[in-house]
Amino acid sequence: MNLEEWFLKGIDAQSYVEAMTCHKEDLIYIYEHFHIDASDHPLFEQLQKRNLRAIIITEDWCGDAMLNIPVFLRFAEAGHIHTHFLLRDQNTELMDQYLTKDSRSIPKMIIINTQGEEVATWGPRAPEVQEFIDQSMEGLKNKETDDYESKQKEMLTFITKAYRNNQDFWNAVYNDLKKTLQY
C-alpha cells in the first residue's frame, strides 16, 4: 500500500481516544493543558497553506504516545493537519518502513502532502526526552537481577508521571515538531 492508502485506512483522533484503554486520562490531561504559543502563528499559517496530513503509528499502552500525541494534536489543529491513527501491532508492514534503530518505537508521525507523498517524519521522542529516558534507565542495565521486573515497573511509573506533569517535556516535543515541520 502507498501512504495515501495507509492514511485512508486510519481512524480519526476522536475514535482513537475513545477506544483507548490505557493512558487515556493522562493523554487528555496533557491535551487540555498544553497550548500553542501565539508567537508561532506565522508557522501555522504556512502549514495551513500546505494542506498536510499525518499518519500516526501508535499503541495506547505507550507512554511516549501519551506524551507526544496530545502535543501533536494541538500542533495539527493549529496547522490544519488532518490526522489519522494506525495501531502499530496491526500495521507492521507500514511500521517496519519507519523503524528507529531497528526497533518498532512509537509513536511515529508520518507527514504527507496532498499527493500522498512523505514530506517529513517525527518520533518517537524529542532529544531532551530521549536524554531523560537514557538517564532514567541507567540503573536498569542488568536484566539478570532478581528485582529487575519490579524496578522496571517502578521506573515506567516514574517516567509516566514525569511525562504527564513536566511541561518542559511537552515544550521539548512541541519545539522538536516545529523544527521538523518548518522547512
Q: What is the pLDDT of residues 72-82, one digit of tens each?
A: 999 999 999 99
- For 16-61, the pLDDT digits (tens) are 999 999 999 999 999 999 999 999 999 999 999 999 999 999 999 9
pTM (whole model) above 0.85:
yes
Residues 6+ away with beta carbon under 8 Å from 163: 26, 30, 63, 64, 66, 67, 129, 169
Q: Report the SS3 class of residue 1.
A: coil
183 pLDDT more than 70: no
**Residue 117's pLDDT is what?**
97
Q: Extract the C-alpha cell encoding 74.
A: 494541538
pLDDT of amino acid 116: 96
Q: Which domains does the chain have, with CATH numbers?
A: 3-181 (3.40.30.10)
| Beta strand extents in 16-138 (DSSP E only) | 53-58, 82-87, 108-112, 118-122
